[in-house]
DNA sequence: TACACTGATGTCAGCGACTGCCATCGCACT
DNA sequence: AGTGCGATGGCAGTCGCTGACATCAGTGTA
């Protein structure tokens, strides 16, 4: 049935695009939700039906990433050491970002310029970490080790991603993950 | 000179105490800045002269901690491996928390109950991490290693602190730091 | 003594984020 | 025709936060 809906479709996507464009153009703080909604052809009230707040519009993809990583972790044989299992899970996600390189770069430039957005990003990463820790526990890793490995894995993710963005998305993200994991093993292996 | 000031002294501390008490009693969201100010015998406007926002009142000690850790790191001989240098710096700070055990516990219970506060805590930890990384670079550690070690160190701090709070402050925080660093070396040392 | 100066505070108006409540109105189903 | 559903709009109100200006005790100075 070809039916002409009462409203334009993809309201959510339109809001994300409108928000990102305005954030890039005028900055996050200088952009009001009314402006975003207007640009998407909607009312302010509707924005808040799709996103809990003005920041969330840039982070709605995080749940997807979390599910992806948890699922990837589940498929790694239990015989693989926790840290390597997390490394493999992260590598699985590299494609996703490389496929949306331009979006990722624009988005990250906005986040880098605003502290509130950095806060939101950090809590999303923390949520990722706790999901990974849960996944590790399900594989038999003990509590403390799971927390440590998950947090270290997220640290690697953050640092590698940062460098990938800094390269303009030209570096190979999966290789950066590997490089960081390798370096992590080196720097935690020395000493006492 | 004994002079009777026009206003009660320690406005800042009064605001912190009033805020913490109200956050504990009614929760963070349910508490308005007007209430905090009133309880401290001040006006709302004055609150915002001392703290940039409603959350910051629980995090004003963070700069102090950052300075302490950076200074502690500076005093560790360059011959000590980066990860161990960070471990020593963290151990230096254990006393501080144990001396304010009750305050730390009340504060943490409020933070645990509110997402916005967790965001603020995470960005303070990230700031700590970047300060440590800078300190490591000053000791000759290269960029990537410094970032990794600093982030790993902060992860340890977070995890150990979490467990210390969970113990009601009865565990020895410095020992928890050591235990986490030791475990970190184990879990990153296995595998490929 | 008089007077200007400072610094911590108060008052007030106003913006923007966010919420609750109710209205609208195509569409589907009966 | 009637009834309910779902996505949206409109509106009023609260609260976080800011800028501009007023207040006034104490300090220094002519």
String of DSSP letters for A140-188: T--HHHHHHHHHHHHHHHHHHHHHHHHTTT-S-HHHHHHHHHHHHHHHH
Buried b or exposed e, range B106-132, using 16+ CB within 10 angstroms: ebbebbeebebbbbbbbbbbbebbbbb
Residue B58's SS3 state is helix
Mean pLDDT to the nearest integer, B24-53: 98
Residue B67 CB neighbours (<10 A): 11
Mean pLDDT to the nearest integer, B15-36: 98
Q: Which CATH class is domain A11-53?
A: mainly alpha
Q: A125: Cβ–Cβ under 8 A, 6 or more apart, which residues? A: A154, A157, A158
Domain limits of chain B?
A: 11-54, 59-189
Q: Is the CB of A8 under 7 A from strand C?
A: no
Mean pLDDT to the nearest integer, B99-107: 97
pLDDT mean across residues, chain B: 95
Distance between CA atoms of residues A114 and A139, nearest Å: 38
Query: Given pLDDT bands bounded at 50, 70 and 90, which one contains residue B191?
Result: low
> What is the structure's pLDDT at A2?
47
Residue A37 CB neighbours (<10 A): 22
> What is the structure's pLDDT at B15?
98
Query: Given pLDDT bands bounded at 50, 70 and 90, which one contains residue A3?
Result: low
Distance between CA atoms of residues A19 and B37, nearest Å: 35
> What is the structure's pLDDT at B190?
59
Which residues in chain B have Cβ-Cβ distances shorter than 8 Å to A126? 118, 122
> What is the structure's pLDDT at B128?
98
Sole residue written with tokens 């009462």: A6
* Closest by Cα among B14, B80, B73 to B41: B14
Chain pair A-B, CB pairs under 8 angstroms: 109
> What is the structure's pLDDT at B2?
46
Longest dimension (CA), chain B: 71
Q: B150: Cβ–Cβ under 8 A, 6 or more apart, which residues? A: B86, B129, B130, B132, B133, B136
Distance between CA atoms of residues A94 and A69, nearest Å: 11
When the candidates are 3.40.50.300, 1.10.10.60, 3.40.190.10, 1.10.150.130, the CATH number that belongs to B11-54 is 1.10.10.60
Q: Give the model confidence (pLDDT) of A141-183 as tens digits.
A: 999 999 999 999 999 999 999 999 999 999 999 999 999 999 9
Mean pLDDT to the nearest integer, A1-25: 86
**B122 contacts B62 by C-beta, under 8 angstroms:** no
Q: Is the CB of B49 under 7 A from strand C?
A: yes
Query: Given pLDDT bands bounded at 50, 70 and 90, which one contains residue B162?
Result: very high
User: What is the Rg, in whole angstroms, of the alpha carbon atoms belonging to chain B?
Assistant: 19
Which string of DSSP letters, residue by residue, matches A67-135? Answer: HHHHHHHHHS-TTS-HHHHHHHHHHHHHHHHHHTHHHHHHHHHHHHT-HHHHHHHHHHHHHHHHHHHHH
Q: Is the CB of A52 under 7 A from strand C?
A: yes
A187 shares contact with chain B (CB less than 8 Å)? yes
Half-sphere exposure of A46 (CA within 13 A, CB side): 17
Q: Give the model confidence (pLDDT) of B117-137 as tens digits.
A: 999 999 999 999 999 999 999
Q: Which of A119, A180, A191 sits opposite B119 (nearest CB)?
A: A119
pLDDT mean across residues, chain A: 95
Question: Does the domain spanning A59-189 belong to CATH 1.10.357.10?
Answer: yes
Structure tokens that stand for B144 in this block: 């990537």
> Which A-chain residues 9-68 have CB contacts (< 8 A) with chain B?
none
- Residue A33 confidence (pLDDT) above 70: yes
| Residues B167, B64, B103, A118, Cα dihedral to 10° | -70
Distance between CA atoms of residues A80 and A46, nearest Å: 47
Residue B76 CA to chain centroid, in angstroms? 21
**A163 contacts A176 by C-beta, under 8 angstroms:** yes
**A149 contacts B185 by C-beta, under 8 angstroms:** no
Distance between CA atoms of residues A167 and A151, nearest Å: 24
Structure tokens that stand for A189 in this block: 């292996």
Please give the share of chain A, as a percent, with pLDDT higher than 70: 96
User: Which bases of strand C have any atom within 7 Å of the beta carbon of a protein residue?
Assistant: 7-12, 16-21, 25-28
| Residues B154, A95, A92, A168, Cα dihedral to 10° | -20
Q: B54: Cβ–Cβ under 8 A, 6 or more apart, which residues? A: B19, B28, B33, B36
Q: Is the CB of B84 under 7 A from strand D?
A: no
């Amino acid at each position: 049935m070809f039916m002409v809906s009462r409203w334009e479709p993809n309201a959510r996507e339109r809001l994300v695009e409108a928000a990102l464009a305005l954030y890039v153009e005028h900055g996050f703080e200088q952009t009001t939700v009314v402006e975003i909604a207007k640009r998407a052809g909607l009312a302010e009230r509707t924005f808040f039906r799709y996103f809990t707040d003005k920041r969330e519009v840039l982070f709605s993809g995080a749940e997807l990433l979390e599910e992806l990583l948890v699922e990837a972790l589940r498929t790694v044989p239990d015989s693989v050491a926790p840290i390597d299992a997390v490394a493999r899970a992260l590598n699985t996600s590299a494609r996703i970002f490389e496929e949306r390189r331009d979006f990722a770069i624009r988005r990250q430039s906005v986040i880098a310029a605003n502290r509130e957005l950095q806060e939101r990003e950090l809590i999303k990463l923390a949520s990722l970490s706790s999901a990974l820790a849960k996944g590790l526990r399900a594989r038999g890793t003990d509590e403390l080790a799971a927390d440590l490995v998950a947090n270290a894995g997220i640290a690697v993710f953050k640092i590698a991603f940062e460098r990938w963005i800094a390269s303009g998305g030209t570096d190979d993200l999966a290789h950066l993950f590997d490089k960081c994991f390798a370096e992590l093993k080196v720097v935690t292996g020395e000493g006492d």
